[in-house]
Amino acid sequence: MAEGPIDRPFKAGTLRPTTFLLGYTKPKMLIRALVFDFDGTILDTETPEFQAWQEVYAEFGASLPLPIWAESIGRGHDTVTFDPYSYLEAQTGQRIDYQTVRMRKRERFTTLILQEKPRAGVVAYLEQARDLGLGLAVASSSDRAWVEGHLKRLNLLSYFALTRCSDDVTRTKPSPDLYLSACEGLGVAPGEAVAFEDSLNGLRAAKAAGLYSVATPNAITKFLPLEPEADLFLPSLADLSLPDLLNRATLPASSDRPTTGFSPSSVASV
């Protein structure tokens, strides 16, 4: 006679045993850490930036198509190939004053981004991760001053054990370097970590590093083909609790895996 589920409390760093069934496969690895992208994932900086550029282009009677802009999302300055100034000149057929355009875009972008709050579900995930004793890090292609400045403004910096930014590596996303550095700093193997990303370049970086990848698109990147690149696609982190996500991340990919595992109700105070 098969045994039923073992009802034991979930402890940080351990996986609550699943139902013992014929064909049960041992979980791939336990999750010990979460690594978040910053721009577009923790804070939607992508929409304000694209909107600011669209408004600048409109002043010149031109347009900036999303597919053209999207290729640069998630990349650092070292890997970006799209130049919005040159593209604007090509669209209008005239030379532009780069400094004037830069200032106009920056002013509008600053106004828009200061109105943004952490994306839905982010704070809940950070609080639950802290309660579960999971390591937390940021892996961003932006520079540290930008990332940590906004994290401080949003009162989120204290959740993270470390940040890995463009200042720390020679190659940013889609290279895996940022994620590898974050995992090394947390003292976990890449396979013991979950990455949260909103862009194709970010997902490719996380997958190349060996992390379980979660795509959580924003208003801009929801139009990109993220789902095929991710291990899990969530329109919003508010759609799935962290304990349930961990259950999915730690169970094997086999279609005959048991569906019972630890649930939100098995985690005290979460």
Catalytic residues: 37, 39
- The C-alpha angle with vertex 210 and arms to 209 and 211, in degrees rounded to 5, equals 100
Cβ-based burial of 183 (10 A; exposed 0-12, middle 13-18, buried ≥19): buried
* Distances in whole angstroms, Cα of residue 201 to Cα of each of 32, 44, 98, 186: 24, 16, 27, 23
The C-alpha atoms of residue 164 and residue 144 are separated, in whole angstroms, by 8
Helix (H, G, I), strand (E, B) or coil at 88: helix
CA distance 257 to 23: 8
Report the distance separating Cα 125 and Cα 117, nearest Å: 15
> 16: which DSSP letter?
P
* Structural element, H or E, at residue 195: strand 193-197
Residue in 237, 173, 177, 227 with CA at minimum distance from that of residue 204: 173
